[in-house]
Chain A
Amino acid sequence: MDDLDRRIINQLQGGFPVSARPYRDAARKLDTSESELITRIRCMLDDGLLTRFGPLFHAERMGGALSLCALKVPQARFDEVVGKVNSFPEVAHNYQREHEMNMWFVLATETPQQLDEAIQNIERCTGLEVYNFPKQTEYYVGLNLQV
């Protein structure tokens, strides 16, 4: 990663223009060219330095539903339960964490009703209680990573 890559990461975490030639407009602020900016973004995506480039949608405001859920999975059943939980397409992220509640996943659905159904189906499929932690208030979202 060179200086230009760093500046792209630091300065382009938001604010990409909605204009006819947005890469050209963004490139000017980064003191580079349109084609160079496009190439750099493509390379950093291919290389895995960037997870994504584009609009980040606010799921609930699009009418969808999200929730963070947790399970207490007995150690001996962990791998089996991972397979079952991950098989649900509504499970977007799933992390193992160090706690008695050792599996934490995010459910994302197009409607709030589908979210409730997914929770019931996961409980039925795993035989474990799903602890549901829907967002009540959002105070901050958006890591601005500086490199």
Chain B
Amino acid sequence: MTDSAAHSEIIETPDDLDRRLVLATQAGLPLHARPWHWLATELGVEPEQVMARVQAMLEDGRIRRIGVLPNHYRLGYVANGMSVWDIPDDIIDDVGRQVGQLHSVSHCYQRPRHLPDWPYNLFAMVHGHDRQEVMEEVDAIADLLGERARSHDILFSTRILKKTGLRIGG
């Protein structure tokens, strides 16, 4: 089963407390000694209820992780290249998993082709300190894949036009 097939079984309308927890924490966790208790007071529920719910959301994958999200640019990772690959469909899962494990790759997805304009079906985001480093990483991926990749390209970002982060309404 592909991961996306797994998702469709899990998708459910989040109930009210889940949704309110997302709204209360999507800008960040409170910087108080007892953040879960602080949230419980805000939401008018018991702290144990908040902690149990968050734990459940971690376990079923609705929360990917809890922690710091470093700013790439401030840490010197100023170059980002979206590498895109044309991989035969029958081997894409193996290739995708292999590329996803590489240290330089932050996101790796199968996405649809748009023929004839766009033959690529594997997207792997590569971060580096400069373009040269990103190009070297992408060359290394090309070497690793050999003939399994029919063609590839790198789309460097030249400007951030908008970055608000993901937000739900409310």
Contacts and interface: CB of A to CB of B under 8 A. Distances in A.
Nearest to B107: A141
A135 B111 contact: yes
A95 B163 CA distance: 9
B161 A21 contact: no
A84 to B, nearest CB: 11
Contacts of B47: 20
Nearest to B153: A99
B11 A60 contact: yes
Interface string B154-170: 01111111111111110
A42 interface: yes
A46 B11 CA distance: 35
A12 B65 contact: no
Contacts of B159: 95-96
A114 to B, nearest CB: 10
A145 B75 contact: yes
Contacts of B13: 63
A64 B161 CA distance: 23
Contacts, number: 245
B37 interface: yes
User: Which of under 10, 10 to 19, 20 to 34, or 35 or more describes the interface residues of B?
Assistant: 35 or more
B64 A58 contact: yes
Contact of B22 (A9, A57, A68, A94): A57
Contacts of A23: 33, 35
Contacts of B75: 9, 49, 145, 147
Interface in B96-110: 96-97, 99-101, 105-110
Contact of A41 (B31, B117, B156): B31
A108 B165 CA distance: 9
B34 A131 contact: no
19 contacts: A13-B69, A13-B70, A14-B67, A16-B67, A19-B51, A22-B36, A38-B33, A50-B70, A61-B10, A63-B14, A91-B162, A94-B160, A106-B166, A135-B4, A135-B109, A136-B4, A137-B4, A139-B99, A139-B110
Interface of B: 2-4, 7, 10-14, 18, 22, 25-29, 31-37, 47, 51, 54-55, 57-58, 60-72, 74-75, 77, 82, 92-93, 96-97, 99-101, 105-112, 114, 117-118, 123, 127, 153, 155-169
Given A50-B71, A63-B12, A145-B127, 18 more contacts: A13-B68, A16-B67, A20-B51, A41-B31, A42-B31, A44-B68, A53-B31, A61-B60, A66-B166, A92-B167, A94-B160, A97-B82, A97-B157, A101-B155, A108-B166, A137-B109, A139-B3, A142-B65
